[in-house]
Amino acid sequence: MVKRLLAIAFLCCISSIVSAQGGASDTLIQEVLELSGAKQQIAQLTEIMEQQLARQRSSMKSKDFALVDSILYDAYDPDTLYQIVVDYFKESYDEKQCTSLLDWLRTPLSQTLSTLEIQASTPDGQEDMEVYARDLQYKSAAQARIDVVHQLDNAIHATELVLKILTNTFRELMLAITPVLSSEKRVNEGELQLLTEQMRSELEPTIKEATKVSFLFTYRSVSADELRRYIRFYESETGQWFSRVSSEGLIRALTHAIRKAGREIAERFTK
């Protein structure tokens, strides 16, 4: 009886320790996503998706537009996407890296940069960026500034992330619609892989240029020395860990969204 009570007490202690650690990791993860601006940017995804879809309204029937709009709004639910990212951080949790990361995220420079990134990712910010690009304002940037921006892209792997998201979106849409296509229009796995690689190759120069313009716009009020400090952080072990985990978490969330949307669109439009 005593042994049994000791065993129960031991299990209770273990479970309370695990729960406490889980609670601590949850708190750190939530703070990381808040301070980095990731939570706010994920919340804006649905708005940006709606904005982009609205531009296609004239090329779609009203009924079709309303249906696609409803499907995408549901698939890109920000609370669902955010929870997927949180869950991925939990799977990849590293207390040492999280603690080190928070030390950086709490600095005035990091908070300034996060604010600028959040502002640039709003629908209004996206429109301002398009004007900036359309008016070729970025052409006046000095080569030294462009070089720093390229270094930041390499440190953060921004171009690579966008390419992964775009090719993954294409792949998921193809997988969703292939079952409802006639046999002669279907693509097999090998053909899909080839198409995806071709798409990536064709898009890479365009995305790299778009990333450059995006960074020149977003960080236009930030000094070169401040950007170099940002780069040094992302080149560090903690910075690379954060870049990898946040990117993979976002890819998982967006894959979930486009897979759900693609399947529903395929089903609804083939009825």
The mean pLDDT value for 214-222 works out to 96
- Is the residue at 135 inside a domain? yes
Mean pLDDT of 2-18: 36
Domain annotation covers residue 216 = yes
Identify the pLDDT of residue 23. 56
Any idea which of 78-92, 104-118, 133-147 has the lowest mean pLDDT?
133-147
Residues 48-74 have a mean pLDDT of: 83
Task: Give the span between the Cα atoms of 38 and 81, in whole angstroms.
Answer: 11
Is 13 part of a structural domain of the chain? no
Closest-CA residue to 86 (of 121, 42, 122, 46): 42
Average pLDDT of the chain is 86
Joined together, the tokens standing for residue 103 give: 């030390």
- Alpha-carbon distance of 1 to 19, in angstroms, equals 27
Taking 70 as the threshold, does the pLDDT of residue 17 lie above it? Answer: no
Q: Which residue has the higher pLDDT, 130 or 24?
A: 130
Confidence band, pLDDT 50/70/90 cuts, at residue 24: low
258 lies in which domain range?
27-269
pLDDT band at 9; cut points 50, 70, 90 = very low
Averaged over 172-181, what is the pLDDT? 84
Cα–Cα distance, 121 to 146 (Å, whole number): 21
How does residue 12 score in pLDDT terms, banded at 50, 70 and 90? very low
Q: What is the pLDDT of residue 271?
A: 62
Residue 230: predicted pLDDT: 98
Does 96 map to a domain?
yes
- Backbone torsion region of residue 32, taken as left when φ is above 0, otherwise alpha when ψ lies between -120 and 50, otherwise beta: alpha
- Compare 64 and 110 and report the one with higher pLDDT: 110
Contact 81, 112 (CB under 8 A): no
Q: How confident is the model at residue 18 (pLDDT cuts 50, 70, 90)?
A: very low
Provide mean pLDDT across the span 114-141.
90
- Considering only 9-18, 73-82, 140-149, 199-208, which range has the smallest mean pLDDT? 9-18
pTM for the complete prediction? 0.83
Number of domains in the chain: 1
User: Does any domain span residue 32?
Assistant: yes
What is the tens place of the pLDDT at every residue in 92-123? Answer: 999 999 999 999 999 999 999 999 999 998 88
- Assess if residue 194 is contained within a domain: yes
Looking at the domain assignment, is residue 115 inside a domain?
Answer: yes
User: Which percentage of the chain shows pLDDT scores above 70?
Assistant: 90
